[in-house]
Chains A and B, each alone.
Chain A
Amino acid sequence: MKISKIKELLDAQVICCEENTNEDVFSACGSDMMSDVLAYVKDQAVLLTGLVNSQVVRTAEMMDMRCIVFVRSKMPTAEMIELAREAGIVIMATKKRMYEACGKLYSNGLVGNKVRDV
């Protein structure tokens, strides 16, 4: 799925790195706990979250994720936008709640992934 398609499905507003919305992504995860996100196997390209702090962007960067979606109209801080821009990560914000946002993406073919074995 193209990142631009995520924007469309979630009726979201792109906050930074609009130029990268042409990229293809294949799986996503949704969580407010960053260590849970870090436990996933690779190639989780999209993070949906209601948590707003710099660690969200660093977590995505550590995982080589390409896009962060803030749900429930949460807005990133200027510092977070700066960090995302440096890493080339697309940030968007949607009014939808976590459950609905994940459901929309999942039912349109963006799947989840397993947790990596210890």
Chain B
Amino acid sequence: MSELLKFHFDVDGTDFTSAGQASVQVKKNLRQLGIPPEIIRRVSIAMYEGEINMVIHAGGGEADVIVTETAIEIRLHDHGPGIKNIDQAMQEGFSTATDTIRTLGFGAGMGLPNMKRYSDDIEIHSELGVGTDIIMRVNLT
């Protein structure tokens, strides 16, 4: 799996309005590379949910998107509070989001399930008080 291209983004945790900018940019970049639209859609939705989570739960973080010949890999990294129980967090409807977040259209507890839905493979590493690392892969072949 040799790396062909890598895009790096800093995700600002202070501004909900700008959350998702990195995902919009990734969508543009992948279009220019001639990646099939259905793959682009899956990558950008998975990344968008991850990006929103870093903003609403972790105070921001970093995202890397790596394009290889066989897959597109999204790596998310934050220094937020960490996830206490990953199995529980993966359940549809589980959310610790505040009512304020819910009035903004997120916090339905569908983000992690959506990330799983749209990727072929998801790995979550999280440590309380340290942060969360998520790697998602969407296969190209």
Interfacial residues, chain A to chain B (CB-CB below 8 A): 32-36, 38-39, 42, 51, 53-56, 58-59, 61-64, 79, 116-118
Contact = CB atoms under 8 A, between A and B. Distances in A.
B23 A42 contact: no
B105 A62 contact: no
Interface core residue of B18, B44, B110, B111 (most chain A CB under 10 Å): B110
19 contacts: A33-B102, A33-B105, A35-B114, A38-B114, A39-B113, A42-B41, A51-B104, A53-B16, A53-B17, A55-B19, A55-B20, A55-B52, A56-B105, A58-B48, A61-B27, A62-B20, A62-B23, A62-B48, A118-B117
Contacts of A42: 38, 41
Given A36-B108, A63-B45, A118 B24 contact: no
A64 B48 CA distance: 13
A118 B110 CA distance: 11
B39 to A, nearest CB: 12
Contact of A55 (B27, B38, B45, B104): B104
B111 A53 contact: no
B24 A38 contact: no
Contacts of A33: 102, 105-106, 108, 110
B78 interface: no
B110 A39 contact: yes
Contacts of A62: 20, 23-24, 27, 41, 44-45, 48
Given A35-B110, A38-B45, A39-B110, 20 more contacts: A33-B106, A33-B110, A34-B105, A34-B106, A35-B109, A36-B108, A38-B48, A53-B16, A55-B19, A55-B52, A55-B104, A55-B105, A58-B24, A58-B48, A59-B48, A61-B24, A62-B44, A64-B37, A116-B118, A118-B92
A73 B102 CA distance: 21
A34 B17 CA distance: 14
Given A61-B27, A62-B45, A118-B117, A36 B20 contact: no
Interface string B94-132: 000000001011101111011011100000000000000
B73 interface: no
Contacts of B38: 42
A89 to B, nearest CB: 12
